[in-house]
Structure 1
Amino acid sequence: MSTKTSTGAHSRAAAAQAIHAVLEQGQSLTQALSEYGDHLSAEDKRLAQAISYGVMRYLPVLTAKVSGKLDKPLKGKNQIIQSLLLVGTYQLFKLRTKDHAAVSATVEASKLLKRKALSGLVNGVLRQVLREAPARNDAGERELESTQGVNHPRWLKDKITAAYGEQAESVFAANDSQPPLWLRVNQRHTNVASYIDLLKQHEIEAVADEQAKDAIRLTKPVPVNKLPHFEAGWVSVQDRSAQLAADMVAAQPEHRVLDCCAAPGGKTVHLLERTEFQTPLIAIDVDEQRLERVSENLYRANLSCDVICADVLDIDSWWDKQPFDRILLDAPCSATGVIRRHPDIKWLRRSSDIEQLVELQQSMLERLWPILKPGGQLVYATCSILPEENSEQISRFLGQHSDANLVSIDANRPMLQLLPGEHHGDGFFYAKIEKLT
């Protein structure tokens, strides 16, 4: 099958399979796309990813449009067609693909999914959706409802509204949007101003960040293989909010530093780019597979540290009894600050998960505190925007430890809670705790 329509059908089929794997099997979208899109061309992989992520962002609104056109729900092996209809509907609203081409490719995808008998249903539903759809706007898109948290599960919508009041709407809007591509400049090779000039020479527009001093935001995302000297480690992809971790740790060459829950290694490498340590930095994570990413990132940057696969809580299995001057605890969390990058989080996470995560975070803080030197600092970070994981977590810890002192982020903020979209970055939380002597 070599026609353009058929090629397009393969990307639509892969997107439908990935969406189905998320919604029905609880897979992450990243994992599902890797499994079902591995055979696609680079162009089709990008299209399958764009469609899948878009469907996850607008799932409730798209589901309502599709379900209203079906006489009865699709069940069993035919549920994959429900996902395919979401794929088709998203295209009609948010992609610039010509309407007839989007419908045709989606119908062809039903045959690739071995549901040829339902191809007429797919055609009929999508054409009905199209008849009821508004005209395209100046950007070539049709409007999809995205106000008042409509594209969020009820429990999450309620939590965000309770925590942020009038700001909640901006959080919802940010979560429904596509994030920009941020780069972290490796100061060992170049600097922000010079690299922006280099990007301009390659006709890539970018701007520097005012707070994250190594951060560059691309005006329009490009594949990393188009970035000059990417493979040589001059830049890495990392959101500007995550880049602030190195500033918070403020490590010096003489410091002994521990990076907990380090995979995939972005913060680890950033710390090493900033500072030549006299004692090797230790990066620890329990996930052996994800630690491979740490090693890959270290290799590309031509840097090294001690990488340990172990459970942070099992201190005796990995600690050499030498205390640390700095500990970065990038704690496991709900990831509610990075939904715009990983929209499947909304549908994979459950309200009951939050309490378990809070308990795990508490346990990690308690276990790590004794191995911090007096006068040392522990930086607690999450990519969450939920107070129980962040400010409330730290307040509880401070209340239970008389030798713990909160080090203010700046004159106006004792702790730092960034919301999604703030400074064009992800939602992130930071707190710095000093151990009194």
Structure 2
Amino acid sequence: MLWGRFFLGLSGTVGVFLLCIFAGFMLHERHVTAQELVKRAQMHFHAIFIMRQWNAGYDGVYVEKRPGVHSNPHLAHADLTAVNGTLLTKRNPALMTREISDLFNEAGLLRFRVTSLAPINPENQADAFERRALHAFAETGVREVYEESAEEGRTYFRYMAPLLVEESCLSCHGGQGYAPGDVRGGISVRYDITESKQAALERTVLLVALSFAAVLLLLGGMYLMTRRIMGRLWIAQRFIERMAVTDELTGLYNRRYAYSKVVTELALAGRHHAPFSCLMIDIDHFKAVNDTYGHPSGDRVLRDLARIIKGCCRASDVAARFGGEEFLVILPLTDAAGARSAAEKIRTTVLENTFSTVEGQPLRVTVSLGCAAVEFGGAGTVSTEDVIAAADKALYAAKHGGRNRVEGELFTVASVVSVVGEARYLGGRDAGVDDGEA
């Protein structure tokens, strides 16, 4: 159906539009989540960097060398004895960072460390991710590298930013050929984001479910609304189509439809060599009714007559208002005798019916009828115009023969033809009957 295609097109457009919006929300959510992970790693990096600066600002700090506290073998003069006899050992920025990282790692919070491509301490050797990051710092000038990695069924966010050589670094690394501003390594941060990823996945699933639910609800509402609108449009279209072929006053078919029906039925009759007839009906002295009782009463007579004519017709017959007080009845598969019988039935029913004015005053109404019948088996041809003109001519004869009577014309032909010019019957009543005194 047309409305079905319309709804599918509309719902498809709206559905794609909404899905694009929800997809945009999802992409934005992923982008925001990724940015939050980076900001969190940057925060950890800067916190570690500031702690290292604090340590480096004092050229390392000393801690009490208790049991389990070992000296840094990579530092010269790592141990000293305080004036009170306490044995102290030095913690430079790298070792301090490592020991604090171990505490964070044991607590299950995060892990960070300082590494380089050429570390003094072999335990600070860079892994694959850190080597890629360090090469990127040295070769491309980027200032941060990050990625997600899966390890032992967990998901981790890894981040690394470079450490640039400062004057305070040269006390330990001066022998490695560094100059201030060089990239001597970087701080690597790793923390577990398994739960965060799971929560993000759950949010995504929820958003997708809500998106589809919203789309389905919207499309359902649109379907009901569209169906209702299209239903009303269908009713309006049927009404317009009915009005296009219906006489508003009487409810019968109008002149245009009646003429087209004569064309169709006469063509069918010619194709099958079946009889065809039509009746032209006119109210006697109708002008006097209008002049004496007014047009509202005249309209009432027309409506009552239309009801009588329709009641006398078969299901296959077509009744139409053909002019002011003139009616046409199309009788398919009806010969001349059948047409006259139908005409007499209408005439006597009208004669026996009691009409009245709008005030209730009784009126005596009669009609004159002209029959035109087409039968096959003879010679020559007949057209739609010929048939209607013959019915009109027979009606004229009935009027001039005393009114309230039936007259007929018969065509016995071989075939039916279409005649250009038949449309003159669509413009108005033919001049065959004088409306002024009809």
Structure with the largest fraction of strand: 2
Greater C-alpha Rg: 2
Report the TM-score range of the alignment, normalised by the length of the smaller protein: under 0.3
Given the two structures, how large is their TM-score scaled by the length of structure 1? 0.20
